[in-house]
Amino acid sequence: MKRLLKPLLIVFALLGIAAFAGLRIRQTLHKPPAPPRFALARRGDLVVQVSETGTIEPVDKVDIKSKAAGRLLSLNIVEGQYVKKGQLIAVVDRSLIDPQLTRDEAQLRQAQARLAQTQSEYDLQVQQSVLAIAQARAALNQSFAHLAVVKTGARPQELAQGRESVSRAQIASDDAQRTQKRRASLLAKGFISQSDFDAAQVAVDTAESSLATAKQALALTIVGPRVQDVNDAKAQVASSRVQLQTAQVNTGQNAVKLSDIAQARAAVAQISGDIQQLQVNLADTHIYAPASGIVLKKYKQPNEIVQSATTGFSDAQSIVATLGSRLQIKVGINEVDIAKIVPHAPAAITADALPTVTFAGTVTEVAPASTNAFADAGGGGGGSTNSISKFSVKVAFNHSDSRLRSGMSANVSIVSQKRTGVILIPLEAVPFSGISGEVSVLDAAGKPQKRMVVTGLRGDTDVEIVSGLKLGEKVVTPPISGAGRRKSDINGNGNG
């Protein structure tokens, strides 16, 4: 009996399971279908946003560099401090420049004195040259006049004067002889002394000599100039001409003096340039803020050595500090979403350090090429074809906030498009991807009917209906399964 009882129990159990299964199947076959899920066409606002995470950085980043090399005497800034354009930032030791400036100023005074002396010597030499030429020209003219006189011979007036001189000498001689004869008679009678007679004799001799001289001069005047006199006059003309040429040639020394002046002036200009450069270097020992902003980083401390930014050999060593003014966020946007972003689009920004505060921003720059567009330039096309292209987008804060710091992480939601007061339905109710297509709409009896609609803007969850639906109509949405279906059944068919 026990052996038969066990198989019978198994048979009865199997029959019971089969009967229960058959009952459930019949109940299922006769159960009415669940009503379709739907959502109401409603009016609302549709915003299309692109979200990404980036890092806060300054829009205007300026490195404050020193043009003068030397030891920093002072550095009057701290990180995070706001400075104004033109504010004194640091002072570099000028002790190496001052001696050079003093030396060059002394050399300049010497060069200026040398220039003044050379100029005076040139002016004096020019005056002497002009005077020498004038004197030589006058002497030459006088020589020409004398030669002309010598060549012409005696004039009638000169002959008349010569004859007149002979006549006067003759009269004087005759008078002296008569006087001498009277005195000789008187001497013989003893009326006069011998000395009186001798004086009369001297007068006779003198008169006869003068007469002879006058006759000789008249004879020479009548004869005319001698060849020797003409030759002497010609020689004097030649000598005067040589003197004039010599004076004219000597003016060539003026050009030499002009060259000396040019050299002296060049020396003054060179030293003046050196002084100006030293004065510029001296001014460069005071470092001023080139723009207004916040001190992002300070690279030097007082008493440290700073290099000159003008040398180009150690540019990094010339940086004293870095300033930043406005802040922005730089994010990389996927190539799928980059077409939705345009310059000047508004954006909402939340920093990780300030999660409860939302800052307003504006798109300032959209990169024309992806960040990896030129990664393989010149490399033979060896890059990966599966890499996702991203485009750099910069978003600036509309208003500054002292709580924001460069280097903070932040989330950016960029509004690409926005519609207000339009008819919306869930995106899941639209089975097509184009602008127009069919959707299922419940009629008055609750039965789905196909309806042609035209869509507009599409968001993450909703789509704009341009035409084909009225406000409040029921649009069929796809059924959900699993836990979601049980939850929708609890909430009443999941109607949206």
Average pLDDT over residues 111-133: 91
Q: How far is CA 112 from CA 117, 267, 271, 275, 278, in A?
A: 9, 9, 10, 14, 19
Task: Give yes or no for residue 411 having a pLDDT over 90.
Answer: yes
Average pLDDT over residues 380-399: 74
- On whether residue 430 sits in a domain, the answer given is yes
Domain co-membership, 365 together with 417: yes
Average pLDDT over residues 134-160: 77
Structural domain span for residue 452: 327-371+388-478
> Which of residues 222 and 235 earns the better pLDDT score?
235
- Helices 227-250 + 97-152 axis angle, to 10: 160
Domain co-membership, 137 together with 81: no
Domain co-membership, 186 together with 208: yes
Report residue 493's pLDDT band, with 50, 70 and 90 as the boundaries: very low
- On whether residue 10 sits in a domain, the answer given is no
Using alpha carbons, select from 88, 92, 64, 78 the residue that is nearest to residue 305: 92
Domain co-membership, 311 together with 338: no
- On whether residue 195 sits in a domain, the answer given is yes
Confidence (pLDDT) at 485: 43
Domain co-membership, 316 together with 334: no
> Which of 107-111, 252-256, 359-363 has the lowest average pLDDT?
252-256
Report residue 24's pLDDT band, with 50, 70 and 90 as the boundaries: low
Listed residues 209, 231, 254: the one ending a domain = 254
Percent of the chain at pLDDT > 70 equals: 83
Instruction: Supply the DSSP symbol for 345.
Output: -
Confidence (pLDDT) at 374: 65
Confidence (pLDDT) at 12: 64
Domain total of the chain? 3
Name residue 293's beta-bridge partners.
83
- On whether residue 126 sits in a domain, the answer given is yes
Task: Give yes or no for residue 174 having a pLDDT over 80.
Answer: yes
Cβ atoms of 257 and 125 within 8 Å: the answer is yes
Q: In what order do the strands lie in the sheet with 305-306?
A: 286-288, 88-92, 70-75, 305-306
Report residue 393's pLDDT band, with 50, 70 and 90 as the boundaries: very high
Domain co-membership, 164 together with 308: no
Name residue 462's beta-bridge partners.
426
Task: Give yes or no for residue 238 having a pLDDT over 80.
Answer: yes
Domain co-membership, 296 together with 402: no
- Count of CB atoms situated within 10 Å of the CB of 222: 13
In a 10 Å sphere around its CB, with 0-12 CB exposed, 13-18 middle and 19+ buried, how is residue 13 labelled?
exposed
Task: Give yes or no for residue 348 having a pLDDT over 80.
Answer: yes
- On whether residue 275 sits in a domain, the answer given is no
Using alpha carbons, select from 402, 385, 459 the residue that is nearest to residue 50: 459
- Range list of H helices, 252-404: 252-284
- On whether residue 16 sits in a domain, the answer given is no
Task: Give yes or no for residue 440 having a pLDDT over 50.
Answer: yes
Task: Give yes or no for residue 61 having a pLDDT over 50.
Answer: yes
Domain co-membership, 366 together with 317: no
Domain co-membership, 89 together with 220: no
In a 10 Å sphere around its CB, with 0-12 CB exposed, 13-18 middle and 19+ buried, how is residue 183 labelled?
buried
* pLDDT, mean over the chain: 83
Instruction: Supply the DSSP symbol for 309.
Output: T
- CATH number where 87 lies: 2.40.50.100
Percent of the chain at pLDDT > 90 equals: 37
Domain co-membership, 72 together with 137: no
Domain co-membership, 239 together with 213: yes
Using alpha carbons, select from 495, 492, 418, 494 the residue that is nearest to residue 462: 418
Q: pLDDT digit string (tens) for 451-460?
A: 999 999 988 8
- On whether residue 400 sits in a domain, the answer given is yes
Amino acid in the structure at residue 440: S
Task: Give yes or no for residue 368 having a pLDDT over 60.
Answer: yes
Supply the pTM of this predicted model.
Answer: 0.49
Task: Give yes or no for residue 354 having a pLDDT over 70.
Answer: yes
Report residue 310's pLDDT band, with 50, 70 and 90 as the boundaries: confident
Task: Give yes or no for residue 402 having a pLDDT over 60.
Answer: yes
Interacting residues of 466 by C-beta distance below 8 A, sequence separation 6+: 453, 454, 455, 456
Confidence (pLDDT) at 454: 95
Interacting residues of 486 by C-beta distance below 8 A, sequence separation 6+: none
Domain co-membership, 143 together with 109: yes
Confidence (pLDDT) at 26: 61
- On whether residue 136 sits in a domain, the answer given is yes
> Which of residues 3 and 170 earns the better pLDDT score?
170
* Rounded Cα distance, 366 and 341, in Å: 8
- CATH number where 354 lies: 2.40.30.170
Task: Give yes or no for residue 118 having a pLDDT over 70.
Answer: yes
- DSSP string across 442-483: E-TTS-EEEEEEEEEEE-SSEEEEEES--TT-EEE-----TH
| Helix, strand, or coil (residue 392) | strand
Where do the DSSP E strands lie in 218-338?
286-288, 293-298, 305-306, 319-324, 327-334
